[in-house]
Amino acid sequence: MSIYQHFREEERPFIDAMMDTRNKVLERYTPKLTDFLDPRQQEIVRALVPADGELTVDFWGGYKEAERKRALFLPPYSDDLSRNFKVALYELNYPAKFVTIEHRHLLGSLMGLGLKREKFGDVLITESGAQFIVAEEIGDYVRFNLNQVGKATVTCEPCSWDDFQPPQVEWEERQGSVPSLRLDVVIAEIYRLTRSKAVDLVKGERVKVNWKVIDKPSYELTPGDDLSVRGFGRSRLIAIDGETRRGNLWVTFGQLK
């Protein structure tokens, strides 16, 4: 039985990379730390490393509810000293009274430094400012090179986890009916868009499913899929609740406030 049958075609390269990491840990008996993984990738890693096996894997992204976390593959008989996730917290310094910085602006500036998204954990915008989580190994590079976010001149400094400001995340659940679970159909229902607008967004590569860009309107969703539409926010297809009299599907979805 192939491991691939449980996952989607586009996830195969990531599966191969994690299988290679797993095998190296077992062969060399040394821990291996990944970059930050999104929740879907974390789910795949858990499936590749059964809890009853010799190998163990832990996840950490700076705080318990973190969305993006690093995975640490541990060989048998590892001690607590091996559990170093090398995660650092940085705070953005800017005139918050006069300048508004949004999540997309900060993330865009971080990506503009020439680093992979996987080197950054959660980016957190609060009423009082902005913080972000990074892989420890790139912290100094970010500190010395991040000086502009949008139109604002900024600096950033590492800060203590005692000063961490956890995000307040709220989901609004609603129910609707759709003729199918096609991507364009579902996002049209969730975001109250026309079908043609939904198609344009998908083809324009502005839609992500489980943190990956999907450009096919006919892409079939399943319950549990996380969606992100640039300019419209994030949502989640939670459940299929049955059929309407006309044969449509009742679905429950959540939309991030």
Task: Give me the CATH number covering residue 150.
Answer: 3.30.70.330
Task: Give me the CATH number covering residue 28.
Answer: 3.30.1370.160
Q: Answer yes or no: do 140 and 115 share one domain.
A: yes
Return the pLDDT at 86. Answer: 95
Q: Answer yes or no: do 177 and 152 share one domain.
A: no
Q: Answer yes or no: do 60 and 93 share one domain.
A: no
Picking from 62, 82, 102, the residue at the C-terminal end of a domain is 82
Picking from 40, 60, 82, the residue at the C-terminal end of a domain is 82
Return the pLDDT at 82. Answer: 63
Domain holding 107, by residue range, is 87-163
Mean pLDDT to the nearest integer, 138-165: 94
Q: Answer yes or no: do 75 and 99 share one domain.
A: no
Report pLDDT digits (tens) over 176-220: 999 999 999 999 999 999 999 999 999 999 999 988 889 999 999
Report pLDDT digits (tens) over 36-70: 999 889 989 998 887 667 788 999 999 999 999 99
Q: Answer yes or no: do 66 and 102 share one domain.
A: no
Nearest to 61 by CA among 81, 30, 39, 91: 39
Q: Answer yes or no: do 151 and 102 share one domain.
A: yes
Domain count for the chain = 3
Picking from 163, 179, 202, the residue at the C-terminal end of a domain is 163
Two tokens, residue 105: 């602006």
Report pLDDT digits (tens) over 77-133: 776 656 789 999 999 999 878 888 888 889 999 999 999 999 999 999 887 789 999
Residue 71 contacts residue 55 (beta carbons within 8 Å): no
Return the pLDDT at 154. Answer: 93
Does 72 have pLDDT greater than 90?
A: yes
Q: Answer yes or no: do 74 and 21 share one domain.
A: yes
